[in-house]
Amino acid sequence: MDTFYIILNVAVLVVLIGILIRMQQKHYSFSKRVFAGLGIGIVVGAILQAIYGTGSDVLTQTTEWYNIVGRGYVQLLMMIVVPLVMVSIIQSIINLEKSSDLGKMSGWIIGFLVSTAMVAALVGIGSAAVFDLNASEIEAGQEEQDRGSMMESRLGDVEDMSTPEKILSFIPSNIFQDMTQDRPTSVIAIVIFSMIVGIAVLGLRRKKPEEAERFTKGINTIFAVVMRIVTLILRLTPFGILALMATTVANTDIAGIIELGKFVIASYAALIIMFIIHLVLVGVFGLNPMTYLKKVLPVLTFAFTSRSSAGTIPLNIQAQKNALGVDQGIANMSASFGATIGQNGCAGIYPAMLAVMIAPSVGIDPLTPGFILQLILIIGISSFGVAGVGGGATFAALIVLSSMGLPVALAGLLISIEALIDMGRTALNVNDAMLTGTLTSRVMKKLNLKTFNDKTAIEQETAL
């Protein structure tokens, strides 16, 4: 009988995908199809949980089939991340009008990413204080204890690395290993390698212009092919979001959310405040915040459902270039750096809230100026190299809590609501990368204001 229900559930997904395909054939906009997938996914997930219950065999096997569409889509995006980052950054550098622009571009991008992470830390501290969060109020079950033990076991790897060693880990020693994204800093390592290749071509252009020209033509051709692959994959976005959202909602631990409701509310309050700060910054730099918001929403929707900053890189770059009018080189670099540097949600708000929650358990007042200043500085420094996939926040928490001398095991108390909070954190991370690209282009006078203000540009962002 279970098999019948599983087949029925899969058939429902196929029918819903058919509806989205029909919407595409009737020329519904990309944004409308994305939000339709999101809404349908929420409804389907809620119905599945209501009928079968969390943890049932039917639901487990149903979501496994749904993951072929949902996680399969994310894996396709992850597949293209490395070639996209490498080729796009090399192509951007070798097509620079002035080689001096590279240093300015990198400086502004990293500056925006790290400074907003420090502001996010302050927001996280404030939210934890306002909601009076305290780790001692949360009961630890077996699952939470196991998670705490896992975090303590991972702590050894983090504590053994000094700050210079962490910085050294950004430099690639085996680029092929980093192409497999084997390390938390793999994306940064690929960016550095690509920048070195681009700079080498600029030097070659002065000494052997013919060979440099051949290489440039080859890279431009490969870039065109890679971007076409990206476009083909992005056409699957509404289907991927539908399956991802249905799976997430169906497997949501309602009891855990109710028990830790105060932390969930405090987390999303902090995330929303930081989103508002992002929009204020857009306005401060002379741009319309509402225009910006409308154009980034489809990308943020995918980031929210996939919980992968790295997987969102292709969508991020496309939207920055085609919808926001960001310079191509800046879009490539801000999306790539933003996947592992200065993540406002995972490396800013989350570790700051944990530190404020856990500090009283060891007799420390987390609201003293000394504690707050130290925490913000540590978060700014440690925001480099946070993995752009699920679990990056755990890595950031380990670094920050251990640097502050706080017990890391208590962070395991939040495992039941980790996925729910991680969705919002990832959306904020990606928005920060897009904000950084937009503001950097504005500062360097490379932002195409006509494209930014063009309301129809959002529909063209994936060349559908």
Angle between helices 418-443 and 100-130 (to 10 degrees): 140
The pLDDT of residue 153 is 53
Rounded Cα gap, residues 103 and 118, in angstroms: 22
C-alpha closest to that of 238 among 19, 463, 428? 19
Per-position pLDDT tens, the chain of length 464 = 688 888 999 999 999 999 999 998 998 888 788 889 989 998 999 899 888 887 788 888 998 999 999 889 888 888 888 888 888 888 888 877 666 678 888 899 999 999 999 999 999 999 999 998 887 655 554 454 555 455 555 555 555 556 676 667 778 888 888 888 777 677 778 888 988 998 898 888 888 888 988 998 998 899 889 888 888 888 888 999 899 889 988 887 676 666 677 888 999 999 999 999 999 999 999 999 999 999 999 899 888 988 888 788 888 998 999 999 998 889 988 988 888 788 898 889 999 998 998 888 888 888 999 999 999 998 888 777 565 444 567 777 777 887 788 877 666 666 667 778 888 999 999 999 999 999 999 999 999 999 999 877 765 544 44
What's the number of CA atoms in the CB half-sphere (13 Å) around residue 79?
Answer: 13
Burial of 275 (0-12, 13-18, 19+ CB in 10 A): buried
- Other Cβ atoms less than 10 A from the Cβ of 294: the count is 14
The pLDDT of residue 277 is 97
Dihedral sign computed on CA atoms, order 110, 176, 150, 259: positive
Which tokens hold the place of 139?
Answer: 């009961």
Going from N- to C-terminal start, the domains of the chain cover 2-460
C-alpha closest to that of 315 among 327, 325, 302, 324? 302
Which tokens hold the place of 130?
Answer: 């306002």
Rounded Cα gap, residues 90 and 68, in angstroms: 33
Q: Which fold has domain 2-460?
A: Proton glutamate symport protein (1.10.3860)
Report helix, strand or coil for 68.
helix
The pLDDT of residue 158 is 52
The pLDDT of residue 382 is 77
C-alpha closest to that of 332 among 346, 347, 319? 319
The pLDDT of residue 32 is 85
The pLDDT of residue 77 is 83
Which tokens hold the place of 155?
Answer: 């702590």
Phi, psi for 384 (deg, rounded to 5): -80, 135
The pLDDT of residue 339 is 81
The pLDDT of residue 195 is 85
What is the helix, strand, coil percentage profile of the chain, to 5? 80, 0, 20
Which tokens hold the place of 220?
Answer: 């431009």
Overall pTM > 0.85: no
The pLDDT of residue 288 is 95
C-alpha pair distances (Å), 305 with each of 182, 195, 241, 427: 23, 31, 6, 9
The answer to whether residues 55 and 83 touch, using CB atoms and an 8 Å cutoff, is no
The answer to whether residues 251 and 44 touch, using CB atoms and an 8 Å cutoff, is no
The pLDDT of residue 462 is 47
C-alpha pair distances (Å), 123 with each of 227, 329, 344, 375, 452: 37, 31, 10, 12, 29
Strand residue runs (E) in 130-278: none
Burial of 229 (0-12, 13-18, 19+ CB in 10 A): middle
157: left (phi over 0), alpha (psi -120 to 50) or beta: alpha
